[in-house]
Structure 1
Amino acid sequence: MAALDDIVQHVNRTLVAAAIPDYCPNGLQVEGRSEVATLISGVTACEAVFGNNAEIGRRLGIEGAQAVAAGGTEGLLWFGDLTAALGAEALAERIDQVLARRPLVVADHGRPIRRFGWCSGGAQGFLADAARLGCDAYLSGEISEKTMHEARELGVTYFHAGHHASERFGVQALGEHLADHFSLTHRFIDIDNPA
């Protein structure tokens, strides 16, 4: 058992929650009891250590992963190199295996993909930033009408993986960390959403 207030304070300190602007409520959503034995987590959360992007990079086997500022938030846009160059179809297959969601591939330029950029969730607006970093391809969780044209014009293959699919890992990693840190039972509940 652990005190709820201790868990909330630990999460807020670890994730620097107050420093990250968002359009929706974050943090503790259902208060429950003051003493906690079991922690239930679900989408969405993101941070460099426990975050969606760190986990996507790790699970895709990206080498030399780095996080840079995007949209006014430090460490939001990630990029690195694939262990071996892949075609868009082969990379889409790998993404499908990792995220359990087949990505929509936009603007396959037919060139090998080596430098890869990504940002989970609604980050299609960082495509030009990924291009400036020299990325051959970029993945995010959402797509806009302009994304297709932008990907074509920038020469960057775009992978639309689904917002929910791209944001499962961070909250799972955070839940596992909290379970270890506070000796809790952790259960991740995944209510699938194709968006």
Structure 2
Amino acid sequence: MKLAEFSNWLDALLVPAAFRDYCVDGLCVEASAEVSRVVTGVSFRDRLIDRAIEEKADCIIVHHPNGFWKSESQIPVGHFAERLQKLFTHGISLYGFHLPLDGHFEIGNNAQIAKALKLKIVQGFMQEGERTIGIIADAEAPLSKSEFLDRIQAGFAHGYQHSFLFGNEKIQRVAICSGSGANGIDEAIRLGADAFITGEIKEAVPITCEELGFNLVSCGHHRTEIFGVRALAEKISAELKIPAKFIDLDNEV
């Protein structure tokens, strides 16, 4: 498939223009005019490039386009230049999709987490631009705190990292925002959530949960964001008939 056609397909699927983001969303590096094999991963990094070369891929799609955040210079010097040179040498184009791959109601990180935990999506929350990035979802019936943790333990390959269970004894409505999404706690409470699932947390989060009487479980930034890029690879393979493979280079944070 032509790279331009592939870009159009991704833009139509993920609608990056609808999000207020703080990185490049879409094509970051154009190193080939064609897309014949795709590798996806959570973060742009050296080992992912090496794996793409091993897989003979000519396209990488990541959730974290490291080097292309708006706070970074994006000037091709130093280690960043070395990464780009490797992409061009091997004809590997690079895409990044950050918030669009959190908020998508089918293949987004949070929708896929809800699916893994057998929760039914009710609505989005945490507005970023024209779209939301978080998910509010319900269990079929109220869960005890231990049942809730068991379900998370089963839904995530590495289980959960921290649990702060100061809230309702029964949990049915769950707010989900992967990565560092715990800043949505106040909105989640207003929307009637009994608990919040996120990735990484800041120091104040356990205090907030204790003082507001709320339940929150963190499962790791990277480990809550494998879902979207994995689902995207599956969708590319199924709909475009382009071989696509998710590569998980685990990061405990």
User: TM-score under structure 2 normalisation?
Assistant: 0.70
Seq. identity, %: 32
Q: Which residue of 2 aligns with 1:23?
A: 22
Contact 1:87 1:110 in 2 (8 A): no
Contact 1:7 1:178 in 2 (8 A): no
Q: Which residue of 2 aligns with 1:91?
A: 148
Contact 2:21 2:128 in 1 (8 A): no
How far does the alpha carbon of each residue in 1:19-75 deviate from its partner, in whole angstroms, 9 at most, with x for none? 223333333445443222211111223322221111111111113432134355522
* Greater relative CO, 1 or 2 (CA 8 Å, sep 6+): 1
Q: What code does the residue aligned with 2:8 have?
A: Q
Counting only pairs closer than 5 Å after superposition, residues 3-42 of structure 1 correspond to structure 2 as 3-42=2-41
Looking at structure 2, the residues matched to 71 and 6 of structure 1 have their Cα atoms a distance apart, in angstroms, of 27
1:30 and 1:190, CA in 2 relative to 1: closer, same or farther beyond 3 A? Answer: farther
Query: Which one has a bigger Cα radius of gyration?
Result: 2
Q: Which residue of 2 aligns with 1:78?
A: 135
Counting only pairs closer than 5 Å after superposition, residues 41-80 of structure 1 correspond to structure 2 as 41-43=40-42, 44=63, 45-46=101-102, 47-70=104-127, 74-80=131-137
Contact 2:145 2:165 in 1 (8 A): no
- The 10-residue stretch of structure 1 (90-99 or 6-15) with the greater mean CA deviation from structure 2: 90-99
Looking at structure 2, the residues matched to 186 and 77 of structure 1 have their Cα atoms a distance apart, in angstroms, of 26
Question: How many residue pairs are counted as aligned between the two chains?
Answer: 194
User: TM-score under structure 1 normalisation?
Assistant: 0.89
Contact 2:136 2:176 in 1 (8 A): yes
Counting only pairs closer than 5 Å after superposition, residues 122-141 of structure 1 correspond to structure 2 as 122-141=180-199
Gaps of 5+ in 1: none
Contact 2:126 2:134 in 1 (8 A): yes
Looking at structure 2, the residues matched to 60 and 178 of structure 1 have their Cα atoms a distance apart, in angstroms, of 24
Q: What code does the residue aligned with 1:191 have?
A: L
How far does the alpha carbon of each residue in 1:1-31 deviate from its partner, in whole angstroms, 9 at most, with x for none? x111111121122211122233333334454
Looking at structure 1, the residues matched to 197 and 38 of structure 2 have their Cα atoms a distance apart, in angstroms, of 30
Cα root mean square deviation, aligned: 2.0
